[in-house]
Every structure is written in C-alpha cells, then in structure tokens.
C-alpha cells in the first residue's frame, strides 16, 4: 500500500503514527492517463535466485528494533559487519532501540523511509539517492497490519527474493550494498515528528531520504517540509525526492474493483496490475519482471503448485509467458498457468533436473502466446 516513492501508508484516520502519501484504501479505479518520461530500462536479473528456508522468528523483546531481511519481521542482522551483541540505546521516553550496525566502509548511515513492499522503481530511486549521501538502508516499520487490524496480504516481493532485488540495484547505488532495517511500528506509532527524527539520530542515522508526499508522526503531523526543518535543527541531512509518474500510453487500463490506479509509481499500482493480469505494466513499474516464489514442498511432479505454495502475490487467473530462475543463474522459459486453485509450470517436472531446492522462482514476462 501507500503511494509515494517510499510506498507511504495512510492509516485511514486511525490516531496513530502515519507514514503516508496518497491513501491506499480500496476503491474502484477510473481510467487515468498522464504523460511521463521514458520508463527506466527493464532489468533482467543476472543474479541467481538462492532459495532459503523460511526462518522462524521469535517475538520482539523489550521494544527493540532489528536490522531485517523481510517486511514486517524482526530478525537477525542482515549485512552486519560483525556478530557482536547489538548496541541498545534508551531514548528520553525510556524506549529501547538497537543502534544500526555501522557500514563496512564507516560511511554515514542514510535511511530511505517507506514501506518498500513492491521494491519498485521509486524505491530504487530512494536507495540511489541515499547511496549518494552515504551507506544506504531501507527503513520500514513492521507489524502495521497487526497493530491496525488490517487484513494480512501476501507481499508483492517474497521475503526470500528481496536480497536478489537489492543486488540488482547495486550498480545504480555506486556499487554499495543496500541494507534493510525494520522497526516495530508499535514502538513509534505515537511519536511526534520531532521524537521520531530524534530517535533516528540516536540509533545512528546521519541522513534521511523520503518522497515528496511523505507524512509521518502522530496524526500525520509531519510533512516533507517538517522533515527538512527537523533535519536542520537536529543535524540530520535530509533529501526529498519527487514522485515518479506511472503512466505511459497504453497503461490507462481499468483495474478490478478494490484496486487503485494511482498516477505515480506505487506498490498499490503494482498490486492493481497483478490483480488485472497486466504483468507487462507491472514490469515497467518495478523495473524488472515480477517474480513469484513457490514452495516446492507439496508440488506435483507435473509442475502443479497449490496457490497456498505462493510466498508472494501471484497474477490474475490466466496463462503467461514465464521464466524459471535457477539457483545457478539458469533461466528456463516456460508457460505458467494461474487458476483459482493452482499454479502450473508447464514442463517443470521434466526440466528441473531433480531440483531439491526449498523454493522455485518464476518471472512473469507477459501473456502466453496462446492466451
């Protein structure tokens, strides 16, 4: 959800900490078109998909934040420089947070703020801008759905696939590794804008990047201008990034009821495209083909996966030209058929070479030739 570059979420009037741009509540979409500059070139992944089993994560202790490798989870450090115990700081309000581990090169920690569900072109631009200022980190806020009573949804990007996407961004980020840091939403939801920025500084943040419609703080009190003013006051560098227009000629389609056709690149727009089966437009928004990660356990020998095997959002019912990405970097063209009960990879049983990996990664390229 959320519709700014950082996939900012509007909490529908809930008295809570807001991170919002345009709101993401469901509504019927209308035809929208606006001219836009040429889309960024589509990245065809050169990195391999390295399946890993889902890690079971224990409950958060003591209101601490964790560097993480997936949305909404608190987990062990990803990309940390050492296995040393975390450095825990206590704020003036008595809350405990873990300090962000330093960058390997000792550079200034710069966080891009957002929800980062789809990891789309706008998010990549935030990471690129952060990399110009220092050591880039995507900072998100876990457990929002649980705290606010929202319906849980499959993520747009599978937790197992986020590292691969970040690796694809590396070249545009001056060769720097983009890390992720997840703070429990419950720990910051009632902070004032100044308390929030002060907490960021306390945990080691030296710079912040956000989209132009970024809102934050209790009752959405803070704007992008507020963030710049607080940065100047507290000694934190702030960079605000303009939103990226989403539409190109041919992208003005009507999407299913309940999905918003936002005029800017957004996770909500990506979800709408997938729900409509428009994987080609989704690819233009993402800057790469949409990838689906399926758990191999329980799959039939004929390449039939129950939809419950999907770890992230799959496209609408239909037949698609697709590519299976192997752990060795191999790319095998196939046809993927999505039904209301299963996802079928034609020929997968014969071509997977006895693949015993925990997961299989499938890129959706476009409609199948016979669709």
Residue 77's pLDDT is: 32
Nearest partner of 43 among 129, 181, 164, 212, judged by Cα: 164
| φ, ψ (nearest 5 deg) of residue 237 | -70, 135
Instruction: Using pLDDT thresholds of 50, 70 and 90, give the confidence band for residue 349.
Output: low
**Res. 73: pLDDT tops 80:** no
Instruction: Report the predicted TM-score, pTM, of the whole model to 2 decimal places.
Output: 0.78
Residue 263 is predicted with a pLDDT of 78
Cα–Cα distance list, 306 to 50, 340, 347 (Å): 22, 9, 16
Q: Find the mean pLDDT for residues 320-349.
A: 91
Instruction: Answer yes or no: is pLDDT of 337 > 70.
Output: yes
H or E stretch covering 334: strand 331-338
Q: Mind listing the pLDDT tens digit for each residue in 207-239?
A: 999 999 899 998 879 999 999 999 999 999 999
Asked if pLDDT for residue 112 goes beyond 60, the answer is yes
Q: Which position has the higher pLDDT, 69 or 360?
A: 360
pLDDT in tens, 285-296: 999 999 999 998
Instruction: Note whether 137 and 112 are within 8 A (CB).
Output: yes
**Mean pLDDT (whole number) for 49-70:** 40
Mean pLDDT lowest among 122-126, 210-214, 225-229, 353-357: 353-357
Q: Which of 122-131, 247-256, 264-273, 316-325 has the lowest mean pLDDT?
A: 247-256
Pairwise CA distance, residues 361 & 238, whole Å: 37
Q: Binning pLDDT at 50, 70 and 90, where does residue 14 land?
A: very low
Nearest to 216 by CA among 72, 114, 73, 136: 114
For residues 168 and 55, which has the higher predicted lDDT (pLDDT)? 168
Q: Is the pLDDT of residue 108 over 90?
A: yes
């Amino acid at each position: 959800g959320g519709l700014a570059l950082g996939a900012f979420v509007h909490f529908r009037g809930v008295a809570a900490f807001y991170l919002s741009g345009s709101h993401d509540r469901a509504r019927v979409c209308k035809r929208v078109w606006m001219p836009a500059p040429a889309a960024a070139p589509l990245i065809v992944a050169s990195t391999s998909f390295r399946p890993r089993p889902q890690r079971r994560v224990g409950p958060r202790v003591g209101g601490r934040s964790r560097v993480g490798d997936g949305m909404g989870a608190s987990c062990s450090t990803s990309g940390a420089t050492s296995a040393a115990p975390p450095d825990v700081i206590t704020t003036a309000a008595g809350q405990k947070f873990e300090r962000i581990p330093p960058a390997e090169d000792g550079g200034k920690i710069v966080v891009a703020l957002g929800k980062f569900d789809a990891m789309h072109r706008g998010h990549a631009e935030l990471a690129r801008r952060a990399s110009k200022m220092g050591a880039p980190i995507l900072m998100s806020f876990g457990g929002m759905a649980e705290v606010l009573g929202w319906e849980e949804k499959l993520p747009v990007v599978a937790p197992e696939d986020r590292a691969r996407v970040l690796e694809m961004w590396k070249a545009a980020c001056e060769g720097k590794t983009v890390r992720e840091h997840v703070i429990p939403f419950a720990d910051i939801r009632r902070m004032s804008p100044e308390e929030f920025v002060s907490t960021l500084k306390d945990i080691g943040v030296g710079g912040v990047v956000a989209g132009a419609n970024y809102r934050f703080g209790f009752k959405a009190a803070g704007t992008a201008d507020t963030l710049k003013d607080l940065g100047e006051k507290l000694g934190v560098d702030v960079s605000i990034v303009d939103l990226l227009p989403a539409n190109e000629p041919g992208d003005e389609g009507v999407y299913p009821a309940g999905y918003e056709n936002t005029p800017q690149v957004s996770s909500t727009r990506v979800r709408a495209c997938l729900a409509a089966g428009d994987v080609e437009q989704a690819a233009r928004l993402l800057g790469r083909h949409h990838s689906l990660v399926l758990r191999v356990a329980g799959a039939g020998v004929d390449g039939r996966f129950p939809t419950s095997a999907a770890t992230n959002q799959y496209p609408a019912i239909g037949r698609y030209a697709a590519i299976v990405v192997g752990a060795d970097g191999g790319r095998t063209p196939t046809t993927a058929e999505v039904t209301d009960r299963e996802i079928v990879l034609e020929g997968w049983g014969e071509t997977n070479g006895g693949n015993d990996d925990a997961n299989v990664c499938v890129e959706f390229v476009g409609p199948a030739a016979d669709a």
